């Protein structure tokens, strides 16, 4: 991204609202989802924690042409950006983006046919609070759809580079990321693998007809890296590497590691290993030898309000 403000001054998820997000979904899969979940019944939709409106625009491709869209986000910058992008996509006349809190939605009970979010519950101190609000503003019989990841699973995906790493290095890397995720959660900043837990949370909150699917999208990398999504990923990795940003910046990562039970004396070595891995992968890409299936787990968890 071009915005290089200090991390503490940047709006939420700024590192991840980049060109890669435009390639998260296959259109044929979204069409299948629309059929499975009866999107034809949706007259209005709320996108909670909409960011720049990527999820709104993705779903607009498979919702009725008459559907009206509302997006809400806590950041002024994202609200403005989502409105601008919706307008460029031809959705301006039937969309509205407002500032607000995902844990206290400024809408009346039973307002929307579809209430949805993409990678939002993972950032809440208690995802159940956000889900409860989503259910509240859904109409009776309305659809709640949460799209959330298990990011821990992605850390176990091998590439042509990491496939050759010693077992103890791979194990240490997995332990490092698990400690980071648990530390983030311990600090009340959400859980990056919340997708595994969302179906049970919905059931406990009384949601009916719960269905769980996974996105069929992978992002394979292989030479000559000439596809738009591959070029976008390489650009992102090089930007992060230049700024020593391995998932998070150093200070943030260290705070998560310590909060997760990691020792400060171990952190430097693990941080340096993360940097060496990213450098080795970028060098392999530059040499045209890098390849990876690049799978991730992204759940689509849906249900109906009684």
Q: Quick one: 146 and 53 in the same domain?
A: yes
What percent of the chain lies above the pLDDT cut of 90? Answer: 91
Please say if the pLDDT value at position 105 is more than 60. yes
State pLDDT tens for residues 9-58. Answer: 567 777 777 777 888 999 999 999 999 999 999 999 999 999 999 999 99
Whether residues 59 and 145 share a domain: the answer is yes
**Least confident piece of the model among 77-91, 236-250, 290-304:** 236-250
Number of compact structural domains in the chain: 2
Query: Contact, 48 vs 116, CB < 8 A?
Result: yes
What is residue 247's predicted lDDT score, i.e. its pLDDT?
85
Same domain flag for 81 and 209: yes
Q: What is the pLDDT of residue 5?
A: 43
Same domain, residue pair 131 and 62: yes
Strand partners, 300: 147, 213
98 and 212 in a single domain? The answer is yes
81 with 26, same domain: the answer is yes
Do 110 and 145 reside in the same domain of the chain? Answer: yes
Same domain flag for 34 and 163: no
pLDDT digits (tens, 9 = 90+) for 117-161: 999 999 999 999 999 999 999 999 999 999 999 999 999 999 999
74 with 156, same domain? no
- Give the residue numbers spanning the domain of 116: 1-150+193-218+297-306
Which residues does residue 149 pair with via DSSP β-bridges, in sequence order? 298
**Is the domain of 12 the same as that of 125?**
yes
Residues 146 and 157 in one domain: no
The pTM score is: 0.93
Q: DSSP assignment, residue 123?
A: G
pLDDT of 136 reads: 98
Instruction: Say yes or no: 123 and 39 in one domain.
Output: yes
Q: What is the mean pLDDT of residues 201-229?
A: 97
Q: Kindly tell me if the per-residue pLDDT of 193 is higher than 60.
A: yes
Q: How far apart are CA 295 and CA 180, in angstroms?
A: 21
User: Rounded to whole angstroms, what are the CA distances from 11 to 8, 49, 75, 79, 122?
Assistant: 8, 12, 6, 11, 16
We report the CATH number of the domain holding residue 44 as 3.40.50.150
Nearest residue to 44 (alpha-carbon basis) of 31, 54, 58, 56:
56
């Amino acid at each position: 991204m071009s915005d290089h403000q200090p991390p503490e001054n940047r709006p939420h998820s700024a590192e991840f609202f980049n060109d890669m997000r435009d390639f998260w979904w296959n259109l044929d899969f979204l069409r299948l989802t629309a059929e499975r979940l009866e999107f034809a019944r949706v007259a209005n939709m709320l996108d909670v924690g909409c960011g720049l409106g990527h999820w709104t625009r993705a779903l607009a491709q498979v919702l009725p042409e008459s559907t009206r869209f509302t997006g809400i986000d806590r950041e002024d910058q994202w609200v403005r950006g989502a409105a601008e992008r919706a307008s460029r996509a031809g959705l301006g006349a039937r969309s509205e983006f407002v500032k607000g809190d995902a844990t206290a939605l400024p809408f009346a009970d039973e307002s929307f046919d579809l209430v949805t979010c993409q990678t939002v519950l993972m950032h809440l101190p208690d995802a159940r609070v956000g889900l409860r609000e989503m259910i509240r503003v859904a109409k009776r019989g309305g659809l709640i759809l949460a799209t959330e990841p298990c990011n821990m699973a992605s850390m176990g995906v091998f590439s042509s580079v990491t496939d050759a790493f010693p077992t103890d290095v791979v194990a240490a890397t997995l332990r490092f990321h698990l400690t980071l995720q648990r530390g983030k959660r311990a600090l009340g900043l959400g859980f990056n693998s919340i997708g595994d837990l969302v179906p049970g949370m919905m059931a406990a909150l009384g949601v009916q007809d719960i269905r769980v699917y996974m996105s069929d999208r992978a992002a394979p990398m292989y030479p000559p890296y000439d596809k738009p999504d591959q070029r976008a990923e390489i650009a992102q990795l090089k930007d992060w590497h230049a700024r020593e940003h391995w998932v998070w910046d150093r200070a943030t990562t260290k705070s998560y590691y310590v909060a997760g039970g990691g020792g400060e004396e171990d952190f430097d070595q693990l941080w340096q290993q993360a940097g060496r891995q990213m450098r080795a992968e970028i060098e392999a890409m530059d040499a045209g030898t890098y390849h990876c299936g690049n799978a991730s787990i992204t759940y689509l968890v849906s249900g109906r309000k009684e």
